[in-house]
Structure 1
């Protein structure tokens, strides 16, 4: 979720502040952002999970990603845990970023078209922008499908004290599927990655024969 939110903010930054984006953003900056995201995820997620297991004395096999509620007033009285609040913030950022990015790209396309007509020059290739829209759409859709129900359940649990083990198990499977589905969808959506995968598969088949 943090990675998706970072990608969404990255696209907003690139479209709404292109000058500062091109001046600041480079490979080193991207690498530092990715490392920071992974570090923040572990700093925020690991200590509460370990404390929850120790305090609640739960078997590790059922720890999963949800904190224990039964028998612990501190977990019952808290409306949302730090992880849940962070997930909600990331979810809102990702969903809100998609229409903002699409609108800005549409405005830029109209502006570029007017410039090419006035200057009587050939329009530049917009394949990169099309791929960006496709990628943004895939990531947003995966978040809505895999995390939307989870966010809804957390809100219902916080407001109405709703608890259903079967629903929790289904939602756990659903948002875990995102980690598998995202790479596959991205490879299928981007031509460059499709070509790389085809070459790798072709070489493997050749070596096997």
Structure 2
């Protein structure tokens, strides 16, 4: 997806009959079809990723309506101000988690009760919307996440050897690389923030917090497919 964003930014003709954003939507759809056709992704994983796609698109519609970011180029395949490829960007995160979970045989010693993880995920998602009118409670959400998962490890297998790290650290590392990817995406003007309208600038590191919370939602959605194993 990042390669498509950069390639179309650098080489897509301005007078092409197909808008760049529409080409990105078609390209993303072809990637998804190929993932299933070559069995790189299971059908059950694809269903959860579709749910994440919908969750992400709903948030995009809300956030663009409030001017949090914009999509500056025209397109036909869009809902309101949101081109359809944007949902695939969220789906990429879910797809990555689903694949590495299976490939590295994830296990989670000291995983908290599932009900509490679902309640927290709902709270995180609601706060993405509610903080526009009410107090932003993300610090409370971070604290709740730390309280629930401070003992939880992720055990993963690399070349027949089990390794481990704190799950909270694992989420941060993935969020960090999503932030790197976001900088590439905004440089290619896939979307832009208000302070980037007159030229690209680095995305604020404060966005890491938002990506960490979104990472948690995607993890919980994928966990609904992959049975959590503690031992």
TM-score by length of 1: 0.31
Greater share of helix: 1
TM-score by length of 2: 0.29
Greater share of strand: 2
Which protein shows a greater Rg? 1
Higher relative contact order (CA 8 A, sep 6+): 2
